[in-house]
Each structure stands twice: as C-alpha cells, then as structure tokens.
Structure 1
Amino acid sequence: MESYLWLSRTALLLAFVLLLIAIIPFGLAIKSKKHKSAQIALILTGVAFGLQLIYFIARWKAVGYAPVSNMYEFMTFFSIMLIGAFLLMSTLYKQWSIGFFAIPIALLLLGYGSVFSSEAKPLVPSLQSHWLAVHVITVAASSAILSVSFVTSMMYLLQRLDVTKRTRSTKSMEFVLWNLVVVCGFVLVSSYFHLTFSPKTVAFTAQDGIAVEAIYTMPILVANDVNAGFLAIPTNIDARKFNTIIWSYGAGTLLYIVLRFVWRKPLYVLLKPFTLSIQPKLLDEISYRAILIGYPLFSLGGLFFAMIWAQIAWGRYWGWDPKEVWALITWLFYAALLHLRLSKGWGGERTAWLAIIGFGIILFNQIFVNLVIAGLHSYA
C-alpha cells in the first residue's frame, strides 16, 4: 500500500511541475507563432496527463476503491479530467492556445485539493458503493468539459474587451479574475499556516445548548463565543470556516493588489494579447460544443446516477439536501443557457457570460456547499 501511495504522490507532483513548465512554451508559441514551442507544450501536457493517470491508478490500488471520496481526491480528479478535456478539444479543433488558459485553472484545482488531507482512510458506510464512483467520476468529467466552455468564454470576452475604457464588461472581467486570484490566496495562506501555525481549539455553546469545540488551523479572527477574546458571530454560522474565508479573501485581495502594482495594469489587459490567435467565432463554437457534451453527461452523473446512489445510501432518491439542490440548480442553469442559445439566438458575449456564471455555480457547489453548508455531503 505504501509503495502505491508513494508512486501516486510522486506522479502527481511531477505532473504539477510539468504543467507549470508547459505554460511557458504555450505563451511563447502564442506570442511568436512558432509551432515548435506549441509542440513542446503539448508534449509536456500529454506526459503530465499520463502521470496524472498513473497517480489515479496507483492511489486506487493503494486504497482499494476509486479515489474520488474526499475533497483532495475529487479536486485532483477534476483537474485530471480538465487536462484530458483540453487535450481532447485541442485535438478536435487544432487550437492548442487554449492550454495557456486551461492549464492554470487545472493547477488551481490541484493546488486547492492539496490543501486538504491526502490520508487514505476506510470509507464510511454511505460511501461504500460502486455507484459513488460512477456518480462522482461522471460529475467530475462533465464539470471538466463544462470548464472548457468557461476557458474559451474567458478568451472570447478578453479578445472582445475594449481595454482602453472602464466599462461594465471590464469591471466584470476584473471581478472574475480577482476571484481566481483569491483561490491562489487560499492555497498560499493555507499552505503557509499549515507549516507555521499550531492548531488551536475554541470551545463554545451551540444554539441547542450543547458544548462544542472548533479546531482552528489558521490564526483566529472570529469565533462563536463572545468570551473567546475574538470577534463573536452567531452560532448558526461556522466561525472556523468563516475564519478561513476571511483569511482567503484577505490574502487573495492582497495578492491581486501586488500583481496590479507590479504590472501597473489590470490583469485582463495583460491576458488579452494571448487570446488573439483564435477567431472569436471559433471560440464561441468550442464553448457551445463543450456545453453540448458536458450538459447531458452532467445530467447522468449529477442527477440520474446520484439518485441511484442516494437510494442505496440513504433509502430515498431525493431529499432536498443542499448538495442535491445545487446540483439541480446547476442542471437548470445550463438547460436555460441551451434554451436561450437555441431558441432565442443568444450567442457570442451573452453565452460567454452565462458560461462563466455556470462555472461559478459549479465551483460554488463543489467547494462552498461541500465545506460550509451542513448536509449529508459534508463528509468532504
């Protein structure tokens, strides 16, 4: 078991390094229009994808079940599927420059997943089902394909932005990029405090009168107990997780300010030149096709397979658990997007902004709902 775990960790680390390196030749290829750099970048990405598959297989061998049962495993697999989806789309459309934007998103997902425990543990009873693997793998694959639509929509909007003016579109794009930087901030601050901060315990009394202890892994800013010496918040809010959110947005905002100060211009101005190698119409087409593929796959994994697993695990197909509700919201949102595209002729910028919002809903469901909102899926 230990040898397989070592192999999985090593393969994943090497994949992360290769993907990080691959961004450079992708950028050079776009700026210089040299196909040799693009070929190097694609080779590095392909090798990294192979290493990610080795991680997945080796960890499966080590733990004895499909490694998609916690946040570390799910976000890692999400990243693997995103790289696979990019390679598939770049092969179909011969547009390798998408990798310059897709790979950083995949690295963010890997970095986010690495913050959580990678310890191999036995599954709780509700997770001991093959339908869990079918459900989660399908959801991750569909989410990755839908993420490609986010990437190409970002490229489409960046390409069409008039960066000489401050408009609603430029402000919205800056908001999107700021949120991506906040994820970087979360990864950085979590990693730093993991190495330097000793966990602290705060005891308080919950609303039902039961004594509760919260273990903080970051310096304490807020607590549920007014006598704890920190800013007190209501007990119906998880102060420990809210504390993490404050640190993440604080660190992410500071990082964004530093980036703005160093380059002395908004990030969308820096990124715009890297989007000009693809025709806007083709970007719009790729985004639409990705949704056409990802949506029915999500329908299977996020609803149909999920209901089968719910029946096996909890004896009911639907229970209005927060995770189930947000899966339904995600499904309805993309259904509305396709309806507006097909029947109302919404294309171009409208579809691109909707695809970005859809990606935000996916991340909200996979991250915020899993971690902050109490429910049956809080095991993650």
Structure 2
Amino acid sequence: MDMASLSSTLLFIAFVAYLIATFLFGGAVKSSNTQTTKSFDRWGKLAITVTILGFIANIGYFITRWIAAGHAPVSNLFEFTTAFGMMVVGAFILIYFIYKTPALGLFALPIAVLIIAYASMFPTEITPLIPALKSYWLTIHVITAAMGEAILAISAVAGFIYLLKNIDLTKKSKERFWIEAVMYVLVLVVGFVVSTLSFSLADYSAEYSYISKDETEHNIEYTMPALFGMNESVAITEGALDPLIEMPPLVNAKKLTTVVWSILIGSVIYLLLRLILRKRLATVLQPLTKKSNSQLMDEIGYRSVLIGFPVFTLGALIFAMIWAHEAWSRFWGWDPKEVWALITFLFYAVFLHLRLSKGWEGKKSAWIALIGFIIIMFNLIAVNLILAGLHSYA
C-alpha cells in the first residue's frame, strides 16, 4: 500500500471512530440523565478513548498524505477541510480534559464528521502545487488559521448546547425559529454530501466551453445538471442540459450549481425528517442537553474565543499577509477570501468587546458564538464555491 492509499485508509478509520464515539458520548449523556454515575464514567471513558484513537488515525492521515504529496496537505479544498475537521476534534479533546463534559462531544464530533464528509466530496487526488503555493508561509498560514477556526468552532458548539437547554421550544418565538434555522443549515451540509454522492453514482458528466474574465476560452466539466452556466457557456457534451441562468465571470457557476443542488436536496431531507419525527429537529435534540451546566457552557464558549481569536488572527491575517506578499508582492488585495477573513476577525473582536465591556453573557454570548461559526462556514463553503478569486483553489 502506497502512502496516498494509506492516508485515505487512515482518514476513513478516523471518520468511523468519530461516528462511534458520537454514539458513545450519547450513552454517557443518557447515563448522566439517569444519574447512574458508574455507567456515566464507563461510557465517557470509552467515548474519549475512541475519539483519541480516531484523532491519532487522523494525524496519521495528515502525516502520510504530507509524505505522499511532498508538501503540507492544506493546498486544496479537500485537504484544508479535512485538516479543519481534524483540528475541531483536537480542540474538543483539549477542552474535554479540562471540563469533562460529554455533551460537548455529543455535539462537537458530529460537526467534525460533517466537515470531513463534506471535504470528501471534493477531488482527493494529490496534485502539484501552483507557484503561489510553494511557500512554507502557506503551511504556517493555513494550519494556524484552521487551528484558530477549530477552537472558535468549539465556542459555537458550547453556545448551541447552551441555547438548546435554555430556549423554550414549546412556545413560538424568534429564538425557537433561529435555533431551528441552525438545524436546517446543518441538514443542508448533509444535502451537499447526498447530492454529490448521488450524481457521482449516476456517473453524470457534461462539458461546456465558456469565456473567462480575461476573455479567453476554457472548458469546464459539470458533475451535476447545470442550473447556472459560466459566462457565454456553450454545451460540448451532446444532450447536456442548457443552463437556466448565465452568470458573470466573477461567479463560479459550476460551484454555484453545486450549492443550489445541495440546498434543494438538503431541504427535501429536512422536510422528510420533520414529517418522520413530527417535531422540530431542535426539539428532538433538546433532551440531550437536560443535564448540561449552562454556566459551564457559557465559560467554555467564552474561553474558546479567548484562545481561538488570537490564533485565528495570527493565521488568517498576519501570516496570510506575509504569504500574500511573498506570493503576489502585496500584503492585501481585497480578494473575497481576504475580505471574509477580515470580517471574521472584526466579528470576534466585537464579541470580546461586548462580553468584556457590556457584560453580554448567557444567551447573548451563545448566539454571537453561533453566528461567528456560521460566518466561518460561509467563508469555507459559499466564498470558496461561488466567488472566484485568488483563493479559488483553497
């Protein structure tokens, strides 16, 4: 088995381990709800052990892929996103040993699983680096940024648990609407995985020619029926669907098509779940937070931002600007990815200001942490998939 194959196997092992650990943490939470201390300890120890084993396999994937590629595996969307998922688990393990709260694992690990599943839908082949990526500053920048985002993700998980526990889901309110909206967005990620797998299994492919923003002709292959066409696109594949809407050169119509298909299929999945369960998804999860300590979740959320914010700032802004200067001879270029990194930085700066100066704790703090993670995921998903820029490969 070569290193590339070994890395894929290790990633799969990590993925399965995280899934198993999620159910084990569920057992720990259930035991805590029934006040069986010995059972709680047994489930909790088993869950964190499986999580650590999965994390070791995940690190093994990262190292073996690095060896196989000859460079840090953070140079495309698959590699960065899997690294991000790995670091979410790493951040959770660290927090778990400080606070020993299984509810955090029950909600953090599914997020990591979703992130890795999402990553696996992108091309996994090892490809040569383009000149702009041949820099050790890229490795430092991306790994540090992913680490910061992962720690901030734990803040959002803690905030989500806090809100689930403290929002009255039996009464109609804005809070009930928005917490369910969060559940809907998570299901949309599942929709992306399902739609990508479905069209892949159907072996769908259609090729089009288009005119890029530099007014040169290129070909592009769609792996889903083209809802949106590239600028001045013309079908090359016989019988290919004519795009419903033609997009300007700034927008990557192929990736926008992927996003829209994900939303459509994700919405269908959400509606089916609602019909089967006959209740809101947040209501289904709420009992799992019954024994959670609200004050502890608030503290975890706040301290995660205290740690994650400076790490993110170093990676996504400072190290990024050093790399940008080395790659493109400028520190800042208002690329969409750069702009959203700045927005994320400013958002969490406001979070800390409101927390420290205005005393925003509890629900307010939890909502802000959750919104912050949505901004991070928007940067990861929407900005990467829709807006064209220098970071289109990322």
1:369 alignment counterpart: 383
Distance 2:161 2:9 in 1: 33
Letter in 2 for 1:235: P
1:340 alignment counterpart: 354
Report if the CA contact (8 A) 1:330-1:361 is conserved.
yes
Report if the CA contact (8 A) 1:226-1:232 is conserved.
no
1:379 alignment counterpart: 393
Report if the CA contact (8 A) 1:25-1:40 is conserved.
yes
Alignment of 1:90-109 (within 5 A): 90-109=96-115
Distance 1:245 1:118 in 2: 19
Letter in 2 for 1:257: L
Count of residues paired in the alignment: 379
Distance 2:71 2:324 in 1: 18
Letter in 2 for 1:232: I
Pair 1:221–1:376, CA change in 2 (3 A): closer
User: Among 215, 222, 238, which residue is 2:228 paired with?
Assistant: 222
Structure 2 unmatched ranges of 5 or more? 33-39, 236-241
Report if the CA contact (8 A) 2:142-2:315 is conserved.
yes
Report if the CA contact (8 A) 2:253-2:386 is conserved.
no
2:315 partner SS: helix
Task: State percent identity of aligned pairs.
Answer: 47
Alignment of 1:200-211 (within 5 A): 200-204=206-210, 210-211=216-217
2:11 alignment counterpart: 12
Q: CA RMSD in A?
A: 1.7
> Which 10-residue stretch deviates more, 316-325 or 154-163?
316-325
Deviations 1:19-40 (CA, angstroms, capped at 9, x unpaired): 1111112112111222211111
1:203 partner SS: strand
Pair 1:257–1:53, CA change in 2 (3 A): same
2:304 alignment counterpart: 290
Distance 1:212 1:146 in 2: 39
Alignment of 1:352-367 (within 5 A): 352-367=366-381
Distance 1:206 1:7 in 2: 38
Distance 2:215 2:331 in 1: 33
Distance 2:6 2:150 in 1: 25
Distance 2:304 2:76 in 1: 26
1:329 alignment counterpart: 343
Distance 1:208 1:17 in 2: 44
> Which 10-residue stretch deviates more, 64-73 or 216-225?
216-225
User: Among 246, 259, 264, which residue is 1:233 paired with?
Assistant: 246
TM-score, normalised with respect to structure 1:
0.96
Pair 1:211–1:316, CA change in 2 (3 A): closer
1:137 aligns with 2:136: no
Structure 1 unmatched ranges of 5 or more? none
Q: How far apart are 1:205 and its partner, in Å?
A: 5.2
2:263 alignment counterpart: 249
Report if the CA contact (8 A) 2:226-2:257 is conserved.
yes
TM-score, normalised with respect to structure 2:
0.92
